[in-house]
A and B are shown apart, each in its own frame.
Chain A
């Protein structure tokens, strides 16, 4: 298993920080991609942040009321090692499956 840290992204219009209103997930919880994970408030608006990926939550940063700067760690996920770099999946070595059988009369000339 590998850990992937997700930093607070720029939530729009060059905002540099956000305040945590409420966490919607907790460490140990399995989350899906796009599942809301945290409610944040900026100087512009309050919003729910969707999870950038699926995985198990390892750590969350910032209690309600805390301010987090853009680029600082927000949440850490644990993911299986079989993600292939930034995209794709590690292929599994599977036993070969066949439907075609060969038939040939081999003349050994």
Chain B
């Protein structure tokens, strides 16, 4: 992606040294608060988003501060939430609807795929859909069925949608503010298992060009592309959302065995930053993609193809995929057996390390 980010007009002025420790919950809440203040056309709604402040507290306090006309509750009907978003967008609003849990997006697939994703195309550009759909996503909280899903490949397959998933509070804050100013619909997949972990957030709009690392350092990576979360020489781990922190743990363990792992946090799942993949794997010559979604037709296949396209001649091994299994996302404690764990990721690394041609 070559698009550059400019500071948004009217953004709350903060100093460049404005780094705060906050959870992803707090970072997202702050971003929404500022978007509401910056753009009077922004409206936020969903099940329990108003009075309660959301079941994950992401919209906490926003109704009291910005009013019931701008932050409000909806009936328990996702098709209505997203259908209303279409109408509001046609009328010039910038809706930020919430689907309370990822599994509840299915009843709204018609509105998302057949209306939101296509209206701009269908109207020859006269009816853009500046909608940011927030979807608490992925597993990791041992929830019941329909409360933990990994839908990125479904959304990424739909022309007209952009898909993004932050892995840390800093990216969550800036990516949400950025998504909310886009003229196109963005599916914003929040890794719900990472809501509570705190990290450094640089609130300065100038900090959008770089991303704070988990230790507060700021490696390369424009907000519109992937981020090198850890530099390494031997193998690239490609991940997004909640899997990034797990891959960083794996990288620490691999270092004990003398293996130097690079972790690439994709952030954008549509479009995927193919240049960042080429840069990283061009250097390491080995790659393992890690995701929670099932293996078959998962986004790992797309990532593997992009890597093969750019690095085929120099790859030392076929791209490995460490993923969930081809079963419905299991509920409760069973998710420990489903989500790629540290040992499964280490096995994937071992496979690309020991592969020999011929």
- Report which A residues bind B (CB closer than 8 A): 84-91, 93, 96-104, 106
Within 8 A of A (CB), among B188-202: 192-193, 195-197
**CB neighbours of B143 from chain A (8 A):** 84, 87-88
> Once bound together, how far apart are the Cα atoms of A96 and B251, in whole Å?
11
- Report which B residues bind A (CB closer than 8 A): 54-57, 140-144, 147-148, 192-193, 195-197, 234, 249-250, 252-254, 257-259, 342-343, 346-347, 349-350, 353-354
**CB neighbours of B254 from chain A (8 A):** 102
**CB neighbours of B147 from chain A (8 A):** 87-88
Shortest C-beta distance, A68 to chain B (Å), equals 23
Q: A100-B347, A103-B354, A104-B234 are in contact. List 16 more A-B contacts (CB 8 A).
A: A84-B192, A87-B144, A88-B142, A88-B148, A89-B141, A90-B196, A91-B193, A96-B342, A97-B342, A98-B346, A99-B343, A101-B257, A102-B259, A102-B349, A106-B234, A106-B259
Pairwise interchain contact B350-A89, C-beta atoms closer than 8 A:
no
Q: Which residue of A lies closest to B141 (CB)?
A: A88
Pairwise interchain contact B56-A100, C-beta atoms closer than 8 A:
no
Shortest C-beta distance, A104 to chain B (Å), equals 4
Shortest C-beta distance, B105 to chain A (Å), equals 16
Nearest first, the 3 A-B pairs at minimum CB distance are: A88-B141, A85-B55, A88-B143
> Once bound together, how far apart are the Cα atoms of A88 and B146, in whole Å?
12
**CB neighbours of A91 from chain B (8 A):** 140-141, 193, 196
Shortest C-beta distance, B300 to chain A (Å), equals 20
Pairwise interchain contact A89-B347, C-beta atoms closer than 8 A:
no
Q: Which residue of A lies closest to B196 (CB)?
A: A90
Pairwise interchain contact A104-B249, C-beta atoms closer than 8 A:
no
Pick the contact of B259: A84, A96, A104 (CB < 8 A): A104
**CB neighbours of B346 from chain A (8 A):** 98, 100-102
Inter-chain CB contacts under 8 Å: number: 68
**CB neighbours of A85 from chain B (8 A):** 54-57
Shortest C-beta distance, B241 to chain A (Å), equals 13
> Once bound together, how far apart are the Cα atoms of A85 and B252, in whole Å?
32
**CB neighbours of B252 from chain A (8 A):** 96
Pairwise interchain contact B347-A104, C-beta atoms closer than 8 A:
no
**CB neighbours of B342 from chain A (8 A):** 96-98, 100
> Once bound together, how far apart are the Cα atoms of A38 and B313, in whole Å?
73
**CB neighbours of A84 from chain B (8 A):** 56, 141, 143, 192, 195
> Once bound together, how far apart are the Cα atoms of A87 and B139, in whole Å?
12
> Once bound together, how far apart are the Cα atoms of A98 and B140, in whole Å?
18
Shortest C-beta distance, A87 to chain B (Å), equals 5
Shortest C-beta distance, A2 to chain B (Å), equals 11
**Interchain Cβ contacts under 8 Å between A and B, 18 examples:** A85-B55, A87-B141, A88-B141, A88-B148, A90-B196, A96-B252, A96-B342, A100-B347, A101-B257, A101-B346, A102-B257, A102-B259, A102-B346, A102-B349, A103-B350, A103-B353, A104-B234, A104-B259
**CB neighbours of A98 from chain B (8 A):** 253, 342-343, 346
**CB neighbours of B195 from chain A (8 A):** 84
> Once bound together, how far apart are the Cα atoms of A65 and B197, in whole Å?
48
Pairwise interchain contact A104-B350, C-beta atoms closer than 8 A:
yes
> Once bound together, how far apart are the Cα atoms of A104 and B193, in whole Å?
33
Shortest C-beta distance, A10 to chain B (Å), equals 18
**CB neighbours of B258 from chain A (8 A):** 102
**CB neighbours of A100 from chain B (8 A):** 342-343, 346-347, 350
> Once bound together, how far apart are the Cα atoms of A27 and B249, in whole Å?
44
Shortest C-beta distance, B146 to chain A (Å), equals 10
Pairwise interchain contact A89-B142, C-beta atoms closer than 8 A:
yes
> Once bound together, how far apart are the Cα atoms of A100 and B354, in whole Å?
14
**CB neighbours of B57 from chain A (8 A):** 85
> Once bound together, how far apart are the Cα atoms of A96 and B248, in whole Å?
10
> Once bound together, how far apart are the Cα atoms of A53 and B343, in whole Å?
36
**CB neighbours of B142 from chain A (8 A):** 88-89
Counting chain B CB atoms within 10 Å of each CB, the highest count among A85, A90, A91, A97 belongs to: A85
Pairwise interchain contact A103-B144, C-beta atoms closer than 8 A:
no
Shortest C-beta distance, A96 to chain B (Å), equals 4
Pairwise interchain contact B141-A102, C-beta atoms closer than 8 A:
no
Pairwise interchain contact A93-B197, C-beta atoms closer than 8 A:
yes
Q: Which residue of A lies closest to B245 (CB)?
A: A93
> Once bound together, how far apart are the Cα atoms of A98 and B344, in whole Å?
10
